[in-house]
Structure 1
Amino acid sequence: MNIYGQKLLLAQKLISELDIPGVIFAFVGGSVGRGDDDEWSDIDLRIF
């Protein structure tokens, strides 16, 4: 699995484990969301 896939799985795991009441949706933005991240990119996670 490439770094992009690893970061998306990490974001999914974080959202599911936080179990925040009232969450409507969440998405990954920035370079990870565009698919052009590298090993130094952070994860821009938006939770609504």
Structure 2
Amino acid sequence: VTLLIDPMSYQYLVGAEIDYQDNLEGAQFVIKNPNATTTCGCGSSFSA
């Protein structure tokens, strides 16, 4: 799968793992970023 990321977002996503999950709660992309200082419970938002 090819994922296009704009240059400004790229600096925040370097080293991140982006996963697609489809379960009872619905389908979503989940971002696991080891560089994030805080994250939300859903896995879609983070602060760097």
TM-score normalised by length of structure 1: 0.32
RCO higher in structure (CA 8 A, sep ≥6) = 1
Write 1 or 2 for the structure with the bigger share of strand: 2
